[in-house]
């Protein structure tokens, strides 16, 4: 038996499967192995949440023109970093409890190259700064004032420290109670994590966030931690996470998903096992928090799974671009 034979799902004779099989020119492939079919897509771009749709559009456009999956994921998430209405990514995001916006981001490619920035202020595109850390320094991660000074040295403009109108309004409302509750995902979005595979099989990922709303000043989540918010390995696949960062860091979430795939799990099985472990390690908080994982393996199979209902993800391949609801461990009524 092939080591990954457990990954494929039973052949169904749906019309869509038959159409795919009937057209050899389509880049979406379906493999028949002993009456078993596994759908794979190369290229394929996945992003967390509905804000991933325009981000994926940009990534797809870049990938189509350049065949460069690293450029694609970087340019893709920059769209979300620039979205003036987004409250969980970029400088327009919700501030910490002192009213200051601090950003976290990471980027990685499948040969192990990676870079990240955390607790950085005044930089509109922390994902591009993370890429500069990866490409221009011998380090993986720069934080706070050091990251800001590095950005200045690299020619990044400094943005004015001023809350966006939406963030300002939300912060003022929060100040009334100033309740310090690290509950995430109340608006059904948090962080953009994007992972992608090119037609050449090269993988890359990018993850960027303004982090937990009203966090303690200095708090850093999973998104800039390589192996927590993002992990990519061309030998296996890629994974990214969204949700309450502390819970993801506790299980090295994205690294765990990739390692489970290395051991033969499908992307879906790997995401489900990571959520199972996360719920065990974060049992006291689990009712009030959300986490979702996304994964792609090197064949171009994908998976997604969350703690609670409500996590969706944007998928873009040569046949379609769709927003899909992820399955979850707990149901709506708990
Ligand atoms: N996942 C984003 C954060 O916890 O900051």
What distance in Å separates the CA atoms of residue 295 and residue 267, rounded to the nearest whole number?
5
**Domain locations along the chain:** 44-317
Q: Which atom of ligand 1 is nearest to the CA of 212?
A: 5
Average pLDDT for residues 70-89, to the nearest whole number? 97
254 and 227 in contact (C-beta within 8 Å)?
Answer: yes
| Structure-block tokens of residue 210 | 């303004």
Residue 62 has pLDDT above 50, yes or no: yes
Rounded distance between C-alpha atoms, residue 64 and residue 83, angstroms: 23
Is 16 a residue whose pLDDT tops 80?
no
Distance 1 CA to ligand 1 centre (A): 40
Supply the pLDDT for residue 179.
80
The more confidently predicted of residues 273 and 179 is 273
Annotated active-site residue in 40, 48, 102, 191: 191
In degrees, rounded to 5, the angle at the alpha carbon of residue 46 between the alpha carbons of residues 154 and 167 is: 60
Q: Give 216's DSSP letter.
A: P
C-alpha 20 – ligand 1 centre gap (Å): 38
- Residue 4 confidence (pLDDT): 37
- 276 alpha carbon to ligand 1 midpoint, in Å? 19
Hey, is 265 helix, strand or coil?
Answer: coil
Query: Residue 235 in 3-state DSSP?
Result: coil
**Residue range 290-298: mean pLDDT, rounded:** 97
CB distance 47 to 313 below 8 Å: yes
Residue 102: name the closest of 180, 266, 216 by CA. Answer: 216
Q: What does the alpha-carbon distance between residue 148 and residue 139 come to, in Å, rounded to a whole number?
A: 15
- Are 241 and 248 within 8 A, CB to CB? yes
Q: For 215-227, how does the pLDDT look when each residue is reduced to its tens digit (9 = 90+)?
A: 999 999 999 999 9
**DSSP code, position 223:** T
Instruction: Please report, rounded to a whole number, the percentage of residues in the chain having pLDDT higher than 70.
Output: 85
The pLDDT value given to residue 133: 99
Pocket of ligand 1 (CB under 6 A): 190-191, 209, 211-212, 221-223, 242-245
Domain 44-317 sits in CATH at 3.60.20.30
Average pLDDT, the chain: 88
Tell me the two tokens of residue 265: 């799990």
Residues 103 and 120 sit within 8 Å (Cβ to Cβ): yes
> pLDDT value at position 12?
30
Alpha-helical segments (H) within 6-122: 15-22, 52-66, 69-81
pLDDT, position 76: 98
For the stretch 29-41, pLDDT in tens is 444 444 345 679 9
The alpha carbon of 321 is separated from its chain's Cα centroid by a whole number of angstroms, namely 17
Quote the pLDDT of residue 163.
97
Q: Give the tokens for residue 140.
A: 């993986």
Query: Which residue shows structure tokens 């981000």?
Result: 55
pLDDT of residue 68: 98
CA–CA gap between residue 249 and residue 15 (Å, rounded): 42
Instruction: State the DSSP code for 312.
Output: E
Q: Please, which pLDDT band fits residue 188 given cuts at 50, 70 and 90?
A: low
At 36 the pLDDT is 43
Query: Length of the chain, please?
Result: 334
Look at residues 230, 223, 224 and name the one whose alpha carbon lies nearest to residue 110. Answer: 230
Helix (H) or strand (E) holding 117: strand 114-120
For the ranges 7-21, 54-68, 95-109, 153-167, the lowest mean pLDDT is seen at 7-21
pLDDT over threshold 80, residue 6:
no
209 tagged catalytic: no
CA 261 to chain centre: 17
Q: Which atom of ligand 1 is nearest to the CA of 242?
A: 1
333 pLDDT band, cuts 50/70/90, is low
The minimum-distance atom of ligand 1 relative to the CA of 210 is 5
What pLDDT, on a 0 to 100 scale, did the predictor assign at position 38? 64
- The residue-averaged pLDDT of 97-117 equals 98
């Amino acid at each position: 038996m092939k080591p990954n034979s457990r990954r494929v799902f039973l052949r169904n004779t749906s019309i869509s499967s038959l159409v795919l099989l009937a057209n050899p020119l389509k880049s979406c492939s379906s493999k028949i192995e002993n009456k078993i079919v596994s759908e794979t897509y190369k290229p394929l771009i996945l992003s967390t949440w509905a804000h991933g749709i325009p981000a994926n559009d940009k990534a797809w456009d870049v990938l189509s023109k350049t065949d460069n999956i690293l450029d694609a994921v970087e340019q893709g998430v920059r769209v979300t970093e620039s979205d003036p209405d987004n409250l969980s990514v970029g400088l327009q995001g919700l501030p910490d409890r002192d009213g200051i916006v601090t950003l976290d981001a990471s980027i990685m490619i499948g040969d192990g190259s990676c870079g990240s920035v955390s607790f950085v202020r005044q930089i509109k595109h922390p994902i591009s700064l993370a890429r500069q850390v990866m490409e221009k320094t011998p380090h993986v991660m720069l934080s706070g004032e050091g990251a800001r000074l590095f950005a200045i040295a690299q020619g990044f403009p400094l943005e004015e420290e001023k809350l966006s109108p939406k963030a300002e309004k939300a912060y003022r409302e929060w100040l009334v109670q100033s309740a310090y509750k690290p509950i995430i995902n109340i608006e059904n979005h948090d962080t953009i994590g994007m992972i992608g595979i090119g037609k050449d099989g090269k993988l890359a990922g990018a993850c960027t966030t303004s982090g937990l709303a009203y966090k303690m000043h200095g708090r850093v989540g999973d998104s800039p931690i390589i192996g927590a918010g993002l992990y990519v390995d061309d030998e296996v696949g890629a994974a990214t996470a969204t949700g309450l960062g502390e819970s993801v860091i506790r299980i090295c979430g994205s690294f765990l998903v990739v390692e489970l795939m290395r051991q033969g799990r499908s992307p879906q099985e790997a995401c489900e096992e990571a959520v199972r472990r996360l719920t065990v390690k974060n049992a006291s908080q689990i009712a009030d928090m959300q986490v979702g994982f996304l994964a792609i393996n090197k064949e171009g199979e994908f998976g997604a799974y969350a703690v609670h209902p409500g996590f969706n993800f944007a998928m873009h391949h040569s046949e379609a671009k769709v927003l899909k609801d992820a399955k979850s461990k707990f149901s709506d009524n708990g």
